[in-house]
Amino acid sequence: MAYSYFETTVSALESAKRTVGGVDYYDLSYTTLDYTPLFSTTQLETDKYVSNVGDTLQVTLGVNVLDRSSNTDLWIVNTSSFRVEINTSDSAWSTLNPQGSDLVRLARISKKDVPYVDYANAAVLTEQDLDAQAKQSLHIVQESIDIANDAMPLVTDGKWDAKSKVIKNVATPGSGNDAVNKTYADTVNDSVSAHRDDALDHKDTAADYATRTAGVVRLFDGATNNTSDSSPADQSGVYSSKEWAIGTQSGNTDGSSKQWALGGGSFANGTAVSGSDYSAKEHAIGTTVTTGSSKQWATKDTSAVASSLYSAKEYASGDATASGGSAKAWATDSSSPNGTTLKSAKTYADEAAASAVSAQGIVMAIALG
């Protein structure tokens, strides 16, 4: 509890306001402030509310002092009801735009410049003068205590306690251990936020470069408030690593690694990957490549693999005469291996054997005469 002031919220005063003659008033009691004004209608306006020990009253709304030196109607002291009455219909009040949570404070300001009682030699020492001197000193002490209590104390854990209040007028930091103000923190936060959004753009673009298969890679360049760019720009002809590895997009006319391994559109056998170029599989075991696949060059029967050239199998053991005859045909066929008058080794051998038998018979006939 404070000794030298009383405060409450605008909303609390609003709920208890008085309206007199169309004028709204907020009432603040000063009974807890040990304040007794020496009120007299004959006094100067600035002296009417000076207490019996030199105290004065001050009314504030937040950080704004309600100055009545040039506007005596803004607030008055009602000495009969022991309260301060704030005229909230006055333009000086409404100009401050008070909010419900704003604090209104009624403070007793002690006289600190000179003693209220000035003793003289041989003067009568009265109880009233002694009490006034003691009260002035007490009020100054109480005000000092309130100032100390409202200050930011160093508590037992060695830390300063701001008591959930805003610390204002903090300078721009110059060293690593300096406190920072909101402007500095906002500047740093804006910079961090910008770097964060840049990082998000790079992350999203990198993800496209890595895995996108639904189209070309997109460039993300508009992230904001940690939210990804909603309209990234397409990069014509640029595809992701995944697309180059296993993709099937028709726009990627160069083909993916998987297509070059297995086949063209949807990896169908016999479909070119790019232009008239075919996959490794087609070149190995297919039937579409005009120059022939490895399998065709190894095993194709009867017909030529390419132009008038035949497979290794056909040249070894086939029956196609157009190939010029296979090794087997030239060895064992009973007909011409190449469709001409030439005969196989076996045929020539059989004929030679038959000729030998015939010659032997003729010789025997001649000998037996």
CB 57 within 8 A of CB 139: no
CA pair distance 244, 229, nearest whole angstrom: 25
Percent of the chain clearing pLDDT 70 (strictly above): 96
The three-point CA angle 302-307-312 to 5° equals 50
Q: Quick one: pLDDT at residue 267?
A: 72
Render pLDDT for 285-302 as a digit per residue (tens, 0 to 9): 988 888 899 999 999 988
Q: Quick one: pLDDT at residue 39?
A: 64
CB 26 within 8 A of CB 83: no
Most confident by average pLDDT, 45-59, 141-155, 263-277, 332-346: 141-155
Domain map (residue ranges) of the chain: 5-150, 204-246
pLDDT above 80: residue 185: yes
Q: Quick one: pLDDT at residue 276?
A: 84
CB 218 within 8 A of CB 234: yes
Confidence grade of residue 272 (pLDDT, cut at 50, 70, 90): confident
Q: Which residues contact 145 (CB under 8 A, 6 or more apart)?
A: 3
Q: Quick one: pLDDT at residue 12?
A: 97
CB 329 within 8 A of CB 319: yes
What's the residue count for the chain? 369
Select the more confidently predicted residue: 4 or 266. 4
Q: Quick one: pLDDT at residue 290?
A: 87
Render pLDDT for 306-361 as a digit per residue (tens, 0 to 9): 888 998 998 999 888 888 888 998 999 888 888 888 988 988 888 899 898 888 88
Lowest average pLDDT, out of 111-115, 193-197, 270-274, goes to 270-274
CA pair distance 98, 106, nearest whole angstrom: 16
Average pLDDT, integer, range 113-138: 89
Sign of the dihedral through C-alpha 84, 88, 90, 94: positive
Q: What's the token pair of residue 215?
A: 């189209």
Q: Quick one: pLDDT at residue 309?
A: 92
Looking only at the bridges linking them, the beta strands covering 56-61 and 23-29 are: unpaired
CB 273 within 8 A of CB 265: no
CA pair distance 21, 24, nearest whole angstrom: 8
Average pLDDT, integer, range 167-173: 94
Render pLDDT for 228-243 as a digit per residue (tens, 0 to 9): 999 999 999 999 999 9
Identify the DSSP state of 150. Answer: H
Closest CA to 212 of 180, 246, 163, 184: 246
pLDDT above 60: residue 13: yes
Residue type present at position 338: N
Q: Quick one: pLDDT at residue 42?
A: 56
Average pLDDT, integer, range 203-227: 95
Question: pTM of the entire structure?
Answer: 0.55
Render pLDDT for 217-226 as a digit per residue (tens, 0 to 9): 999 999 999 9
Q: Quick one: pLDDT at residue 359?
A: 86
Confidence grade of residue 43 (pLDDT, cut at 50, 70, 90): low
Most confident by average pLDDT, 49-53, 114-118, 219-223: 219-223
Q: Quick one: pLDDT at residue 319?
A: 87
Average pLDDT, integer, range 207-226: 95
